[in-house]
């Protein structure tokens, strides 16, 4: 009985060690892995013929047994408010994901998606309304960064190689990465860890772990695995409520992983002076913006050594949630500060193009 044909190997999803083992199994010397890894993640070649230091016979073999990630830019929107750029990308299966590039004082920050849609069902998030659910491969996660890097090169050529300075315009490749786009990263943890292996590899994209943040709604059981694999990567907890009865309603994941369980998971992490823990707190008027909420939030942050990012709600079509009035937001920040906790008020970028926190909804070309 004939065995079914094997699908092409997804070489762009393989960290360098896995790529070395795969090529060894093909009878190739280990150094070929470094060469192929360089072509994929430094030169970002997407044509076997471009990989000129690989033997022609190996390139012919790779063309039959290996594949590249296929993400195509379907929609490219630029914010008139702050220069942010949202890219809607189509996968090879015809699904849509989004990634956002934001001009910050410390350079370009890219917000990455880890899934198509999201199973977590947070009531205030537009991504939860997407019917399709699928995990992205490590290669598809990394390819979002590759596309951003290629666009930066093209933009540099268009400017004659001159960076945009502090004008609000995007200039250069991403410097910081945040896994805060579509999907729950810890619900697709193996792919996220493999993507981090590639992105932080000094022979690849060479991102410092200090410049990478992974966000979670609170899948406490997977926090130790992420921390063990990448101890220097920053961790953000999308908290948004300090009482279980409120969080159960806003974020259904809380029914299985209540607040105290996630706090215990964060407290149990091995000490690492380079890792930052952040509480992401979406301010929803009439739901979680009282003085008692602020004081509870501050005390919880002090308990685990976390910084707080308060994010006034970003509206999207069809939602009944609203952001609090400015006076309420200001008082909330003061009440948190009174506990001794540190807090930043974060006005999300790209609100006019549906690119802000909670607004990503898998836009498609029309």
Same domain, 63 and 102: no
pLDDT at 316: 76
pLDDT confidence of residue 90: 94
Distance between first and last Cα of the chain: 47
Instruction: Give residue-wise pLDDT tens across range 171-199.
Output: 578 999 999 999 999 999 999 999 999 99
Q: Is residue 360 part of a domain?
A: no
Q: What does each C-alpha distance from 104 to 44, 82, 193, 308, 349 come to in angstroms? A: 25, 10, 26, 18, 10
Residue 5 lies in a domain: no
Residue 202 is given by DSSP the state T
d(CA 280, CA 295): 15
Give residue 365's pLDDT.
61
Q: Are residues 21 and 114 in the same domain?
A: no
Domain that holds residue 215: 72-353
Identify the pLDDT of residue 129: 79
d(CA 170, CA 78): 10
From the candidates 92, 98, 200, 245, give the one annotated as an active-site residue. Answer: 98
Average pLDDT, the chain: 90
> What is residue 348's predicted lDDT score, i.e. its pLDDT?
67
Helix (H) or strand (E) holding 292: helix 291-304
pLDDT band per the 50, 70, 90 thresholds, residue 127: confident
> Is 357 marked active-site?
yes
Are residues 32 and 78 both part of a single domain?
Answer: no
How many domains does the chain contain in total?
2
222 and 348 in a single domain? The answer is yes
Q: Does residue 146 lie within any of the structural domains?
A: yes
Catalytic residue check, 98: yes
Q: Are residues 123 and 163 in the same domain?
A: yes
Task: Please indicate, yes or no, whether residues 250 and 320 belong to a single structural domain of this protein.
Answer: yes
Q: Is residue 328 part of a domain?
A: yes
pTM: 0.92
| Residue 1: inside a domain | no
> Can you give the CATH number for the domain in which 166 is found?
3.20.20.70
Q: Give tens-digit pLDDT for 322-344.
A: 999 999 999 999 999 999 999 99
pLDDT at 361 over 80: no
Residue 160 has pLDDT above 60, yes or no: no
pLDDT at 113 over 90: yes
Please identify, among 47, 67, 87, the residue that sits at the C-terminal boundary of a domain: 67
Q: Which of 184, 200, 357, 363 is catalytic?
A: 357
């Amino acid at each position: 009985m004939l065995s079914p044909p094997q699908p092409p190997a997804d070489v762009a999803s393989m960290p360098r060690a896995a790529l070395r083992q795969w090529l060894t199994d093909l009878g190739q010397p280990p150094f070929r892995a470094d060469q192929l890894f360089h072509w994929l993640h430094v030169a970002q070649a997407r044509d076997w013929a471009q990989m000129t230091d690989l033997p022609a016979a190996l390139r012919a073999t790779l063309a039959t047994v290996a594949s590249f990630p296929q993400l195509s830019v379907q929609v490219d929107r630029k914010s008139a408010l702050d220069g942010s750029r949202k890219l809607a990308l189509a996968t090879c299966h015809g699904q849509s994901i989004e990634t956002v590039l934001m001009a910050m004082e410390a350079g370009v920050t890219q917000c990455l998606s880890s899934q198509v849609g999201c199973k977590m069902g947070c009531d205030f998030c537009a991504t939860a309304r997407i019917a399709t659910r699928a995990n992205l491969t490590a290669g598809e996660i990394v390819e979002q960064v590759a596309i951003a890097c290629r666009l930066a090169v093209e933009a540099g050529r268009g400017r004659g190689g001159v960076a945009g300075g502090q004008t609000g315009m995007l200039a250069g490749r991403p410097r910081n990465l945040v896994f805060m786009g579509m999907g729950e990263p810890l619900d697709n943890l193996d792919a996220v860890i493999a993507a981090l292996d590639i992105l932080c590899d000094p022979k690849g994209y060479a991102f410092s772990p200090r410049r990478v943040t992974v966000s979670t709604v609170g899948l406490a059981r997977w926090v130790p695995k992420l921390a063990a694999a990448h101890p220097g990567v920053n961790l953000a907890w999308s908290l948004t409520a300090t009482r279980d009865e409120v969080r159960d309603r806003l974020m259904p994941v809380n029914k299985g992983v209540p607040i105290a369980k996630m706090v215990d998971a964060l407290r149990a992490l091995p000490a690492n002076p380079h890792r930052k823990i952040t509480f992401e707190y979406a301010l929803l008027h009439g739901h979680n913006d009282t003085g008692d909420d602020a004081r509870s939030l501050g005390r919880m942050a002090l308990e685990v050594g976390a910084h707080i990012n308060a994010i006034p709600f970003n509206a999207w079509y069809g939602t009944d949630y609203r952001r609090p009035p400015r006076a309420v937001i200001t008082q909330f920040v003061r009440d948190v500060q009174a506990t001794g906790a540190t807090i930043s008020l974060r006005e999300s970028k790209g609100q006019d193009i549906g690119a802000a926190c909670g607004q990503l909804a898998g836009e498609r070309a029309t």
